[in-house]
């Protein structure tokens, strides 16, 4: 039996439907997801650099290394720990969009089983304007717990005045 291209395509569709075949994901679909993610993260790096310049940070943080090579989520706070910046890869770690956390305090990620000793340790080093590294039980937006490894640093301006804190976090 001879058929034209249209008939052949129709038969192929009918046969495919009979066996409940699902078409494979195109490589383009995978590419565009990675492209969109990387575009947001590059925008984050640009915004962080701009924020650092505007606030006259005296720092040597390599944001590109932290986000792309180490896979860390970056959060910047005011000295009172109110969040002023969060990188977009936060969504992957805890389900929050950056816009949902801006203006809140870092304690928004803590819950009933978050270790009070760790919270107190962080409070002391922050009040003394010192760097810290902790593992802490935090909670995702949906309420499920996860352990977050956090490195925190005070950020000073060129006059050595405290202007921000910056944290680099990764789920362990």
Per-residue pLDDT band for 68 (boundaries 50, 70, 90) equals confident
For residues 112 and 148, give the distance between their C-alpha atoms in angstroms, rounded to a whole number.
15
State what percent of residues in the chain have pLDDT above 70: 81
Structural domain includes residue 136: yes
Residue 34 has a pLDDT of 73
- Asked if residue 13 is part of any domain, the answer here is no
Asked if the model's pLDDT at residue 111 lies above 80, the reply is: yes
Per-residue pLDDT, 162: 96
Q: What does the alpha-carbon distance between residue 143 and residue 158 come to, in Å, rounded to a whole number?
A: 40
- Give me the DSSP letters along 27-43: HHHHHHHHHHHHHHHHH
* Number of domains observed in the structure of the chain: 1
pLDDT of residue 112: 95
Residue 146 lies in a domain: yes
Q: What is the mean pLDDT of residues 18-28?
A: 56
Instruction: Please give the residue range of the domain that contains residue 102.
Output: 26-171
The whole-number pLDDT of residue 13 equals 55
Q: Residue 25: which pLDDT band, with cuts at 50, 70 and 90?
A: low
Provide the mean pLDDT of the chain.
87
Q: Does residue 3 lie in a domain region?
A: no
On whether residue 19 sits in a domain, the answer given is no
**pTM to 2 decimal places:** 0.80
- Look at residues 169, 156, 92, 104 and name the one whose alpha carbon lies nearest to residue 130: 156
Residue 153 belongs to a domain: yes
Pair 158, 56: CB distance under 8 Å:
yes
pLDDT band at 30 (very low <50, low <70, confident <90, very high): low
List the CATH number of the domain containing 117: 3.30.450.20
- 8 Å CB contact between 117 and 124: no
In a domain, 20, yes or no: no
Let me know the angle formed at the C-alpha of 153 by 148 and 157, rounded to the nearest 5 degrees.
150
Element (H, E) at 122: helix 116-127
Query: Which band of pLDDT confidence, cut at 50, 70 and 90, is reported for residue 119?
Result: very high
**The tokens of 23 are what?**
């078409």
pLDDT band for position 22 (50/70/90)? low
Is 80 part of a structural domain of the chain?
yes
159 near 69, Cβ under 8 Å? no
């Amino acid at each position: 039996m001879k058929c034209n291209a249209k008939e052949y395509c129709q038969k192929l569709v009918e046969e495919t439907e009979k066996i409940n075949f699902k078409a494979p994901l195109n490589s383009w679909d995978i590419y565009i997801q990675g492209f969109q993610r990387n575009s947001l993260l590059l925008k984050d790096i640009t915004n962080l650099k701009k924020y650092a310049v505007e606030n006259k940070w005296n720092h040597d943080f390599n944001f590109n290394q932290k986000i792309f090579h180490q896979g860390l989520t970056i959060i910047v706070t005011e000295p009172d720990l109110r969040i002023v910046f969060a990188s977009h890869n936060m969504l992957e770690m805890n389900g929050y969009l950056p816009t949902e956390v801006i203006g809140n305090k870092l304690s928004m990620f803590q819950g009933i089983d978050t270790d009070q000793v760790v919270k107190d340790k962080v409070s002391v080093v922050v009040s003394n304007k010192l760097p810290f590294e902790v593992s802490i039980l935090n909670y995702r937006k949906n309420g499920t717990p996860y352990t977050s490894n956090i490195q925190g640093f005070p950020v000073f301006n060129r006059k050595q005045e405290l202007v921000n804190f910056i944290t680099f976090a990764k789920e362990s």
